[in-house]
Amino acid sequence: MSEFRTVARLEEIPDNGLHPVELDGVSIVLASSEGEVLALRDQCSHEEFPLSDGELVNGQVECILHGARFDLRTGAAKALPAVRPVKTYECRVVDGEIQVRL
């Protein structure tokens, strides 16, 4: 199993906002929601479009291309046209550093 690796600092993510990062060639979107930081694959499963360009809506990230939405915790598709989930990653904050495990 891979180890947690630092990808950003907490102050880099706006409250209730999104921040794109890359780890070992994998595009990840960090989401700050309700005081928690979560990590998902930064690619809509409906079309290859970055979720980091989207918006947070009620615990979900909405892709601005066609309006697909995904649960921040599970990656489950919550609104059409997406029907497939997006991958989520373990994420933690240690001493102000955001760490993700692939």
CATH of the domain at 19: 2.102.10.10
Task: Domain count for the chain, please give it.
Answer: 1
pLDDT tens for 72-84 read 999 999 999 999 9
- Could you write out the three-class secondary structure of the chain? CCCCEEEEEHHHCCCCCEEEEEECCEEEEEEEECCEEEEEECCCCCCCCCHHHCEEECCEEECCCCCCEEECCCCCEEECCCCCCCCEEEEEEECCEEEEEC
* Res 1: pLDDT: 58
pLDDT tens for 23-70 read 999 999 999 998 899 999 999 999 889 999 999 999 999 999 999 999
Residue 12 domain boundaries = 5-101
* Res 40: pLDDT: 98
* Res 48: pLDDT: 86
Q: What is the pTM for the complete model shown? A: 0.95
